[in-house]
């Protein structure tokens, strides 16, 4: 039997997804046995005495990285925060995560941006680079955008958000207050995004009208319960876990520890899923206030089955004027914007629920399965059922 240790706290959505992927791989390997470290399993501090065959770990601090690197067993790291010569890295594609975040916020009409990061972590640096690189390519070349970065532990503890510090305008409070409205803020993870959203509320900064906030990880319960609910880039955690197990298996298949050390597999990066949009970015920032108001209305109400006549009812414009101003501001018609919003809702339902296609069609505002099927296939070149199967494969 090959004994594999899972070294992580099992305390959040990310680790649960990673573990599901590892378990799915292990079920097809009769000679694998998994052992948990962290939470209700063995203490993380006991890993030094592990005498198994390999470790899949989420390494989140330098001391843990150094301790694991000295054990002498194959290590597959799924966090990508700290790089060590004998670690095999199977992680989320963080450059692409930043890129997707930028495209989403640019698509919300924003032209001012900011970033919240976890200092000293490779994955946060990569997300920042991907974010600003995409903005550089698509908006204002050479522009410098504000960043606020603290350690991962700082974001998790939050000791600087005392009422006294907020009142005096120091730390994160000072940073958020300095941002010119409207600004789109990309947080390196949901923890940073949720803290920013909560603090913005205490400072009287309107989210998303003055400050749109986008996180990463899609900690669904926390994101939904936040006020306003937090938009987030959803990572493909199960795929990361499955590939991590596969990479470790490839190492173990080789004969001899020396051979394993001398020929480690290449790092693997897993593409993130889509942005799950919630209230914190459900807005459209545009110099044309009529288009901004109409587009925000569409993004909030598209799933109710609205059409262009419903949009005209809440703006003071003729249909022709609305069409002209939409095309000038967005390059598409109000009808196309409604369709985009309905399809975005449908994809989320296909991805996150097991609802029937009839139910998805109804809840995304299409009204009938036939209209939903035709619109989805025209946009994606596959049917809704095929798209769902491909996503879950």
Write the pLDDT tens digit of every residue in 117-140: 999 888 999 999 999 999 999 887
Do 106 and 75 share a structural domain?
no
Please say whether the beta carbons of 138 and 109 come within 8 A.
no
Whether residue 169 is predicted with pLDDT greater than 80 in this model: the reply is no
Please say whether the beta carbons of 21 and 239 come within 8 A.
yes
Please say whether the beta carbons of 131 and 104 come within 8 A.
no
Cα–Cα distance between 329 and 340 in angstroms, integer?
16
Do 380 and 319 share a structural domain?
yes
Mean pLDDT on 76-87: 85
Q: Where would I find the H helices in the chain?
A: 13-27, 62-69, 94-107, 122-138, 152-157, 163-168, 171-178, 190-203, 220-225, 237-253, 257-262, 289-301, 308-312, 319-330, 334-352, 357-363, 369-380, 384-392
Confidence tier at 188 by pLDDT (50, 70, 90)? very high
Cα–Cα distance between 130 and 114 in angstroms, integer?
13
Whether residue 161 is predicted with pLDDT greater than 50 in this model: the reply is yes
Confidence tier at 344 by pLDDT (50, 70, 90)? confident
Do 86 and 30 share a structural domain?
yes
Cα–Cα distance between 189 and 193 in angstroms, integer?
6
Do 192 and 87 share a structural domain?
no
Domain count, the chain: 3
Query: Each residue of 351-371: pLDDT tens digit?
Result: 878 899 999 999 999 989 999
pLDDT at 81: 79
Do 314 and 215 share a structural domain?
no
Confidence tier at 260 by pLDDT (50, 70, 90)? very low
pLDDT at 164: 59
Whether residue 241 is predicted with pLDDT greater than 90 in this model: the reply is yes
Average pLDDT, the chain: 88
pLDDT at 286: 81
Please say whether the beta carbons of 228 and 201 come within 8 A.
no
Mean pLDDT on 367-383: 92
Do 299 and 208 share a structural domain?
no
Q: Is the pTM of this model over 0.85?
A: no
Residue with tokens 């629920």: 353
CB neighbours of 263 closer than 8 A, spacing ≥ 6? 254
Mean pLDDT on 69-75: 86
Do 100 and 224 share a structural domain?
yes
pLDDT at 392: 55
What CATH number does the domain containing 188 carry?
Answer: 3.40.50.2300
Peptide bond into 198 cis (omega under 30): no
Least confident of 25-34, 66-75, 180-189: 66-75
Among 126, 129, 122, CA closest to 65 = 122
pLDDT at 35: 85
Phi and psi at 83, nearest 5°, equal -100, 130
Do 17 and 109 share a structural domain?
no
Cα–Cα distance between 271 and 260 in angstroms, integer?
27
Please say whether the beta carbons of 13 and 44 come within 8 A.
no
Do 155 and 100 share a structural domain?
yes
Please say whether the beta carbons of 326 and 291 come within 8 A.
yes
Strands 268-270 and 231-233: unpaired
Whether residue 77 is predicted with pLDDT greater than 90 in this model: the reply is yes
Percentages (nearest 5) of helix, strand, coil residues in the chain: 55, 15, 35
What is the total residue count of the chain? 393
Please say whether the beta carbons of 190 and 222 come within 8 A.
yes
Whether residue 259 is predicted with pLDDT greater than 60 in this model: the reply is no
Do 87 and 39 share a structural domain?
yes
Do 100 and 191 share a structural domain?
yes
Cα–Cα distance between 392 and 378 in angstroms, integer?
21
Do 241 and 230 share a structural domain?
no
Domain containing 351 equals: 289-392
Whether residue 262 is predicted with pLDDT greater than 60 in this model: the reply is no
What CATH number does the domain containing 378 carry?
Answer: 1.10.10.60
Please say whether the beta carbons of 222 and 1 come within 8 A.
no
């Amino acid at each position: 039997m090959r004994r594999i240790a899972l070294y992580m706290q099992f305390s959040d959505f990310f680790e649960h997804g990673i573990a599901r992927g590892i378990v799915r791989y292990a079920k097809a390997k009769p000679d694998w046995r998994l052992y948990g470290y962290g939470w209700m399993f063995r203490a993380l501090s006991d890993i030094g005495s592990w005498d198994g065959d390999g470790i899949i770990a989420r390494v989140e601090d330098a001391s843990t990285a150094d301790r694991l690197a000295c054990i002498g067993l194959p290590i597959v790291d799924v966090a990508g925060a700290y790089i060590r010569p004998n670690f095999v890295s199977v992680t989320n594609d963080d450059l692409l995560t930043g890129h997707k975040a930028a495209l989403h916020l640019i698509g919300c009409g924003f032209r001012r941006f900011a970033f919240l990061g976890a200092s000293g972590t490779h994955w946060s640096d990569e997300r920042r680079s991907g974010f600003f690189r995409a903005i550089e390519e698509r908006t204002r070349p050479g522009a410098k955008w504000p960043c606020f970065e603290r350690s991962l532990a700082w974001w998790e503890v939050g000791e600087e958000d005392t009422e006294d510090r907020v009142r005096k305008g120091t730390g994160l409070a000072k940073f958020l207050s300095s941002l010119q409205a409207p600004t789109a803020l990309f947080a390196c993870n949901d923890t940073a995004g949720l803290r920013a959203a909560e603090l913005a509320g205490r400072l009287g900064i309107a989210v998303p009208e003055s400050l749109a906030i986008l996180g990463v990880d899609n900690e669904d319960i926390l994101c939904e319960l936040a006020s306003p609910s937090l938009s987030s880039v959803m990572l493909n955690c199960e795929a990361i876990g499955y590939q991590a197990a596969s990479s470790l298996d490839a190492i173990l298949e080789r004969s001899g520890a020396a051979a394993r050390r001398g020929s480690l597999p290449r790092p693997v990066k897993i593409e993130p899923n889509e942005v799950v949009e919630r209230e914190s970015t459900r807005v459209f920032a545009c110099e044309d206030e009529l288009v901004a108001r109409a587009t925000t209305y569409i993004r909030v109400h598209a799933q109710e089955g609205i059409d262009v006549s419903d949009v005209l009812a809440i703006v003071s414009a003729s249909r022709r004027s609305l069409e002209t101003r939409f095309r000038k501001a967005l390059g598409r018609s109000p009808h196309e914007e409604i369709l985009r919003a309905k399809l975005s809702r449908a994809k989320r339902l296909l991805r996150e629920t097991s609802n029937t296609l009839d139910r998805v069609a109804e809840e995304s505002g299409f009204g009938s399965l036939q209209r939903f099927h035709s619109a989805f296939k025209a946009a994606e070149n596959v049917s809704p059922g095929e798209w769902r199967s491909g996503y879950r494969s």
